[in-house]
Amino acid sequence: MSSATSKRSWGQRLFGWLGREEAMSFWVTVAFFVLWELICRVSNIPVYFLPPPSVIVQTGIEFQRAIVVNSIQTLWTTAAGFGLAVVFGLILGIAIGWSRRLYRGLYPLMVGFNSVPKVALVPILVLWFGIGTVPAILTAFLISFFPIVVNVATGLATTEPEMDDVLRALGASKIDRLLKVGLPGAMPHFFGSLKVAITLAFVGSVISETVAANSGLGHMMLMAQANFEVPLVFAGLLALAFEGVVMYAIFVLIEQRMTGWAFRSQQ
């Protein structure tokens, strides 16, 4: 098989890939932007209303320094907030998965916190920490924390009762049952939740930047909008979407690496 494929040229292989099911994501994305471009050109929509992708890309190149600098700012606030969410989400998730009393006690409060739209918290965070990076990090943290807690706790709660019986009958301690069975079994839930959490963290930091910051992609887009630089607003939007996709993809890879057994055992 390997000799047959190696004889084919790089171009032939790429061409072959483009016809396969996995290439659908590529084709649909390309079609989306082509359609967008066509609609803008054919119907003469003014650039300040909806710029075509070609104009957005041109503007992006023109302002690449601003986009890169602000992207880095947004990425690191997102990463910091997400990191906090992973640490505290794991701790709280294990705690409420461990003790039914803690679960009962904390759940209503947590649902309450989660129901509050995080944008409503930004003014309070600004009041406490001033305009800038800290409110962005905290918003990212608050918004991405909950799915991690819930997933870790659910993962721990779904341990097979018979497995638990086997271990309890052996006299295994609760901590051993957690370390050997509960936590490894909860890992697919945990890594699955990271995909959701990282995108939410991104949303959180951008929200905060849009409301109260002096840097970051959210802030840049707000400034561009104020200056009526509509293509730059869209360039910021595309940069956001691109970064979101990349981060999501990274966590899909991490998930498959860490808990590949969960995917294989379903086959």
Quick one: 26 or 261, whose CB is closer to another protein? 261
Rule CB under 8 A: say whether 257 interacts with another protein: no
Q: How far is the CB of 174 from another protein (least distance, A)?
A: 11
| Contact residue for another protein among 132, 185, 216, 236 (CB under 8 A) | 185
Rule CB under 8 A: say whether 184 interacts with another protein: yes
Site for another protein in 141-170 (CB under 8 A): 160, 162-163, 165-170
CB 209 within 8 A of CB 74: yes
Residues in the chain: 267
Q: Which residues contact 29 (CB under 8 A, 6 or more apart)?
A: none
Quick one: 62 or 160, whose CB is closer to another protein? 160
| Contact residue for another protein among 32, 91, 123, 176 (CB under 8 A) | 176
Rule CB under 8 A: say whether 262 interacts with another protein: yes
Quick one: 5 or 158, whose CB is closer to another protein? 158
Quick one: 7 or 264, whose CB is closer to another protein? 264
Residues near another protein (CB under 8 A), total:
25
Q: How far apart are CA 229 and CA 234, in angstroms?
A: 9
Quick one: 173 or 227, whose CB is closer to another protein? 173
CB 248 within 8 A of CB 198: yes
CB 91 within 8 A of CB 153: no
Quick one: 135 or 185, whose CB is closer to another protein? 185
CB 178 within 8 A of CB 95: no
Rule CB under 8 A: say whether 172 interacts with another protein: yes
Quick one: 94 or 136, whose CB is closer to another protein? 94
Q: Which residues contact 199 (CB under 8 A, 6 or more apart)?
A: 244, 247, 248
Angle of CA points 75, 77, 81, to nearest 5°: 115
Q: Which residues contact 99 (CB under 8 A, 6 or more apart)?
A: none
Rule CB under 8 A: say whether 261 interacts with another protein: yes
Half-sphere exposure of residue 133: CA atoms within 13 angstroms, side-chain side = 11
Rule CB under 8 A: say whether 243 interacts with another protein: no
Q: How far is the CB of 170 from another protein (least distance, A)?
A: 4
Q: How far is the CB of 184 from another protein (least distance, A)?
A: 5
| Contact residue for another protein among 15, 99, 180, 250 (CB under 8 A) | 180
Q: How far apart are CA 68 and CA 76, in angstroms?
A: 12
Q: Is 172 exposed, middle or buried (0-12, 13-18, 19+ CB in 10 A)?
A: middle
Residues that bind another protein (CB under 8 A): 160, 162-163, 165-173, 176-177, 180-181, 184-185, 187, 259, 261-262, 264-265, 267
